[in-house]
Structure 1
Amino acid sequence: MLSLKMIQNAKEVLNGIATETPLFQSKFINPDADVYIKCENMQVTGSFKLRGAYYKTANLTEEEAMHGVVACSAGNHAQGVALAAKKKGIQAVICMPAGAPLAKVEATRSYGAEVVLVPGVYDDAAAKAAELKNEKGYTFLHPFNDDYVMAGQGTIGLEILEHLEDVDVVLVPIGGGGLISGVACAIKELKPECKVYGVQAEGAPSMFNSFRDGKIETLAEVNTVADGIAVKQPGDKTFEMCQKYVDGIVTVSEEEIASAILMLLEKHKMVAEGAGAVSVAAAMYNKADIQGKKTVCIISGGNVDINILDRIIDKGLQMSGRLTKFSVTMIDKPGQLTQMLQIIAEAGANIFNVNHDRMVRNIAVGKCIVDVTVETRNKNHCEELIEKLVSKGYDVK
C-alpha cells in the first residue's frame, strides 16, 4: 500500500537517477496568486515518469527482471521504463498507441526498448501489453495503478515541500492518476492543510467523472491535445488515493491548454506538452481557488509533438485574441476588397491571410465570401475591429 515511508524510500533510490527539477516563481500565470512552476519537463526523458518507472524496476525480484518487462504508454512512461530497464540491464517491450507522437516513439526506441505500435488509444495499448504478458511471460509495469510507481511520482511532492514549505495549493495533471496519488499522499501526510487539486482535459475527464460520482467510470472515447493524459479509465488504486487525499478535480478546455502552452513559450521560454500544461491552464483561468495563495503548478512533461506545435500556438493565439479569423460576405465587384482591407489596416490589425471565394455554394450571384485572418493586440482589439466592419455595412461572421 502506498505510504509516506515508501515515497521517502523512493527518494533515496532515485538519488543520482532522477533530476531534482527546478521550482521557480512565475509572475505571468495569474496576477491574483503567487504561482510557482515545478518543472518536470526538465526531468531526464522529458517527464516525471522516470521516477515511478525506475523505482518500480528497482523493486523487481530477480525472477521478474529475468523475464523482461512489458509496459503500455502514450509516450512518457514508455521512455521512463525504457531508460530504467536499460540502466538495470533488463529487456523492455513497450506497447504504444499508433497515434503517439513520433518524437516519443523514437525516443523510446533510442533507449533500447522494443516498441509495438497498437491502433487506438492508451487503453488499447494496455490490452496488447496484457496479451504479451500472458504470451511471453513478461513482467507488466503499469504506468499508474501501482504502489511503487505512485511512490516514485510522489517524490515530486517531497521536493515541493522542501523548497516551498508554506505552499497553499498544488495543481497536478491527471491521466490515470499515478502522479497525483503519489504527490497528494506526500503532501497531505506532511502538510494536511495544503490543498491538492487534479486537472484533466475536458476531452478526457475519466478521473473527474469518477471522482464526482464516487465510482470508477470508463469513457467511450477520449479526444484531446493532451495525449499524455488521454486515459479512458482510472485505476482502482489511484481512484482510492484520490478519494482519500485529493481536494477536488477540475477540467480545462483545448483552447485553455493551448493558451497555457503559448504563455510558457513566450514568457518563460519553456516547452510544455499538452498534458504538462493543464495545471498552468487551471491556474490561468481560475479553475481552483488560488487567489492570494502560494500555488504550485506541476508541469509534468515537455515532450510535445513538434509537428502539431504550430497548430497549438495558433489555437492559443486565437484564445488570447491575438489571431482573429472571420468571414465577410460582400458584393463581388472591383474595389470592394480593397475598401475592406483598408478598414482593417486603419484599425491597426495586421493582415495575415486573405481568401477570396465567389464559388461558394448557396451564395447569391454577384456576391462572394472573403475569409480573413488578422493579427490583433488582444480580445478588445478584435471586438473593436469587428464592430468597425459591421458599422460600415459588412456582413461579418
Structure 2
Amino acid sequence: MQDTMPEQAETTMAARSGAPTFADVARAAERIAGIAHRTPVLTSRTADARTGAKLFFKAENLQRGGAFKFRGAYNAISALSEAVRARGVLSFSSGNHAQAIALASQLLGIPATIVMPGDAPAAKIAATRGYGAEVVLYDRYTQDREALGRELAEPKGMTLIPPFNHRDVIAGQGTLAQELIEEAGPLDVLVACLGGGGQLAGCALAAAALSPGCRVIGVEPEAGNDGQQSFRTGRIVTIPVPRTIADGAQSTALGDLTFAIIQREVADILTVSDPQLVETMRFFAERMKLLVEPTGCLAAAAVLHGLVDVKDKRVGVVISGGNVDLATFAQLVGETA
C-alpha cells in the first residue's frame, strides 16, 4: 500500500510530472491491460449483514506482486522512453512498491535498485530480490535515504520512481477504482487505504469521473494520521515515522500532488487502530479465505468497525495487498483467537 518517500525528492518528481487527471487514469488502463491482473471484485453476505450495506471488495491482494502497487509502477516505467529506461530505475519503499518496481523492471528488461528499510517484512525484501532488483537496506529511523538514493542514482543516471507523488504512479493506482466501478456499477461510497496518498488520489479521480456523487473516504493507521491532520488543517503535516503494524502506511507526509487531489475530491479521512487491523485480518481469513496484510485491511477495518456510514449503501472497499510474512500473520491473528 502506500510507502514513505523523502519530501524533497517527492517534490522534485512532482515538478517534473504535473498533476494527473482521469484522462491519465484511462491511459494507464490501456498501458497495463494484459499485464496487470484485472483483480476480482468479491462480496460477503456476512460482511453485508454486519454493516447493513452492499459491499464490493476489490481484491488487490491478488494483484501481481501481491498488491495494487504494480499498477502504478508498471504504468510509470512503461511511460519512460527506451533510452531512459535502459539506464535503470531507483525507488524507496517499505515493500509493496519495491516489489512492484522490481517486477515491472524485470518484465521490461531493465535494471532496478530499491532502497528498503531494514525492518521491512522479510518476505517483501526476499520477493524484491527475487524479481531481480538490487536491494539496499537502511535504518528508517536514523538514516537519510534521500541522500543514499542520490548517491546510488546519480552516477548511473537512474530515474527515480517514487511510491506515490508521481503523475503516472497515481494514474496507475486509479485503474483499480475504474475496474471496480465498471464491474460493480455506481457506488455511494468508496473507501480506500491511505499512506502517501497515491491509491486514494487515483481512486478519487476515477470515482469522480465514473460514479459522480460517490463519497470517497481514506483510512490510515491511528498511529500515523498525517493525512487526516493535513486534510483537516488544509496544509501538509509531517510527522515522525509512525510505529504501526501497517508497515506499508508508515508515511510521514502526503505528497503535494496527492494532497491537492485529496483536498478536492475526498470527503473524509479516518483512522483505525492496530487491534482493529488484526481483527479484520482474521475476518478475511475466516470468512472470505483471503490472506491480507495489515495495511491491506485499512479500508475494510473502518467499514467493518462501523466508522463509516454505509447502511443501505453500495460501498466499494479496497483490499490493497496481501504481502505479509506467514509467521507474522499467524502470530497476529493467533493473538485474537
Q: Same fold (TM over 0.5)?
A: yes
Deviations 1:148-183 (A, max 9, x none): 000001101110111111321111000100011111
The offset of 1:190, in angstroms, is 2.2
2:266 matches 1:246: yes
Counterpart among 17, 22, 32 of residue 4 in structure 1: 22
Provide the residue aligned with 2:230 in structure 1: 210
Paired letter, 1:262? R
- Alignment partners' CA distance in 2, 1:65 and 1:26: 42
SS of the aligned residue for 1:79 comes to helix
* Inter-CA distance 125–305: structure 2 relative to 1 (3 Å threshold): farther
Q: How does 1:374-393 map to 2 (within 5 A)?
A: none
Measured in 2, the distance between the counterparts of 1:307 and 1:287 equals 30
Amino acid at match of 1:174: L
CA contact (8 A) 2:192 2:216 kept: yes
Structure 2 CA distance for aligned equivalents of residues 277 and 28 of structure 1: 16
Question: Is 128-137 or 144-153 further displaced after alignment?
Answer: 128-137
Q: Measure how far apart 1:308 and its partner are.
A: 1.6
**Structure 1 residues 143 and 15, CA gap change in structure 2 (3 angstroms):** same
Where do residues 257-336 of structure 1 align in structure 2 (5 Å cutoff)?
A: 257-317=277-337
**How many residues are treated as equivalent by the alignment?**
317
Q: Give the structure with the larger strand fraction.
A: 1
Q: Does 1:13 align with 2:31?
A: yes
Q: Secondary structure at the match of 2:223?
A: coil
In structure 2, do the counterparts of structure 1 residues 125 and 292 end up closer, same or farther at CA, with 3 Å as the change threshold? farther
Q: CA deviation at 1:4?
A: 1.1
Cα distance, 1:124 vs. partner? 4.8
Q: For 1:167 and 1:19, locate their aligned partners in 2 and report how far apart those are by CA, in whole Å.
A: 22
Question: 1:332-368 CA distances to partner (integer Å, 9 max, x unpaired)?
Answer: xxxxxxxxxxxxxxxxxxxxxxxxxxxxxxxxxxxxx
Hey, which of these two has a bigger chunk of helix by percent? 2
Q: Does the Cα contact within 8 Å between 2:187 and 2:211 map onto a contact in 1? A: no
Partner residue in 2 for 1:77:
97
Distance, in Å, in 2 between the alignment partners of 1:45 and 1:249 is: 27
Q: Which amino acid aligns with 2:187?
A: V
Is 1:34 equivalent to 2:54 in the alignment? Answer: yes
Counterpart of 2:137 in 1: which secondary structure? Answer: strand
2:41 to 10, 23, 48: 23
Partner of 1:28, secondary structure, is helix
Q: What 5-or-longer segments of structure 1 have no aligned partner?
A: 318-397
For residue 203 of structure 1, give the secondary structure of its aligned residue in structure 2. helix
Whether contact under 8 Å (2:66, 2:321) holds in the other structure is yes
Does the 8 Å contact 1:108/1:115 carry over to 2?
A: yes
Q: CA deviation at 1:28?
A: 2.4
Change (3 A) 1:247 1:311: same
Partners of 1:194 and 1:179 in 2: how far apart? 16
> 5+ residue gaps in structure 2?
1-18
Over the residues paired in the alignment, what is the CA RMSD in angstroms? 1.6
Amino acid at match of 1:256: Q
Matching residue within 205, 228, 246 for 1:185: 205
Between the aligned partners of 2:198 and 2:284, the Cα distance in structure 1 is 24
* Identity between Structure 1 and Structure 2 (%): 38
Aligned-pair CA distance for 1:125: 4.0
What residue number does 1:333 align with? Answer: none
Paired position in structure 2 for 1:129: 149
What residue number does 2:134 align with? 114
Query: Which residue of structure 2 lines up, in the alignment, with residue 360 of structure 1?
Result: none
The verdict on how the C-alpha distance between 1:164 and 1:199 changes in structure 2, with shifts beyond 3 A counting, is same
CA distance in 2 between partners of 1:123 and 1:225 (Å):
21
Q: Tell me the TM-score normalised to structure 2 length.
A: 0.90
Instruction: Give the number of the structure with larger relative contact order, counting CA–CA contacts within 8 Å between residues 6 or more apart.
Output: 2
Distance 1:135 1:49 in 2: 27
| Aligned with 1:147 (options 167, 172, 189) | 167
Q: What SS does the corresponding residue of 1:241 show, helix, strand or coil?
A: helix
TM-score (norm 1): 0.77
Change (3 A) 1:199 1:237: same
Larger Cα-atom Rg? 1
Matched position secondary structure for 1:224: coil
Question: 1:126, CA displacement in angstroms?
Answer: 4.8
Where has structure 1 moved over 3 Å in runs of 4 or more? 121-127, 314-317
Change (3 A) 1:9 1:121: farther
Deviations 1:302-322 (Å, cap 9, x if unpaired)?
A: 0012232133113433xxxxx
Following the alignment from structure 1 to structure 2, what is the Cα–Cα distance between the partners of residues 123 and 241?
30
Does the 8 Å CA contact 2:98/2:128 hold for their aligned counterparts?
A: yes
Partner Cα distance (2:215, 2:147) in 1: 35
Q: Which residue number corresponds to residue 325 of structure 1?
A: none
Q: Which moved more, 1:40-49 or 1:21-30?
A: 21-30
